[in-house]
Amino acid sequence: MKLTEQDLHLLEFASYDDYLNSLIDGKSLQYFGNRENLISLYRTGYRALTKEAFDAQRTFLEVTKDPNTLFSRHIAPKDRFLQEIAKRERPNRLGLLSTIIYMRYVKKATEISGYIDYEEALRRVHQDQQYSNDWRAIFAEERVLYPTPADLLYYNAKTGRSMRNNTRNYQILCDPARGIIFRNMYDRKDIYPDPVARSYGTNTSRIELASDLYEQVVLYDHVVRKNY
């Protein structure tokens, strides 16, 4: 994505307050009469970004400008699952490792489960994208990551809704004997998520993590051997 001058202008502000102050001019002060009232109005999203939108947009722009910027940088999550995916963020972004996350999460008394292509989910950050992720808030434990209809596999136990999506990294296959298979699109190796399988695939390992946030979390780590 090519950044515009307007996009880059947002990166010039050191804080959300600096951004809001930049919006105030003589005409708006004359109309609203009071600087504090005007700032309060801007914070609601009137003719301005909310703080949440500002932070999300800045994160997106920083990553777009520098693909090596890590969302987990300078954040020390306490949950074991978040610690583990923070370790895997850089190798996933560089394409050296490809991690598939399986999770079961209870949201409002409804269990949501599915498989997430971690690298693909790391790229789904633009605030205008459906099912976008605020990764800095996730690593800071201010938000919770859970499967969505945009991920590899999604299932809502309450509604019975299920979705499957091929991604840039994986093609979903179904085998009558082995069940679901994820085929890596770079080295064409298959990942077998069957928990009782003798092997999870070439260069693939499985680790199940204890987490206070989820009913169950499993990581499938595939070391990518790219063919050039």
Report helix, strand or coil for 123.
helix
pLDDT at 79: 96
pLDDT in tens, the chain (228 residues): 445 666 668 878 889 999 999 999 888 888 887 888 899 999 998 888 888 778 877 776 776 666 567 899 889 999 999 999 999 999 998 889 999 999 999 988 899 999 999 999 998 876 667 888 999 999 999 999 999 999 999 999 999 999 999 999 999 999 998 999 999 999 999 999 998 888 999 999 999 999 999 999 999 999 998 654
Q: What string of H, E and C letters represents the secondary structure of 125-148?
A: CCCCCCCCCCHHHHHCCCCCCCCC
Question: Facing residues of 182 across strands?
Answer: 172, 191
| Cα separation, 101 vs 218, whole angstroms | 6
The phi, psi pair for 110, rounded to 5°, reads: -120, 130
pLDDT at 7: 66
pLDDT at 228: 46
pLDDT at 1: 44
| Cα separation, 64 vs 60, whole angstroms | 6
Residue 171 burial (CB count, 10 A): 13
Spans of all domains in the chain: 5-65, 80-223
> CB neighbours of 129 closer than 8 A, spacing ≥ 6?
none
Report the phi/psi class of residue 78: left, alpha or beta, with left for phi > 0 and alpha for psi in -120 to 50: alpha
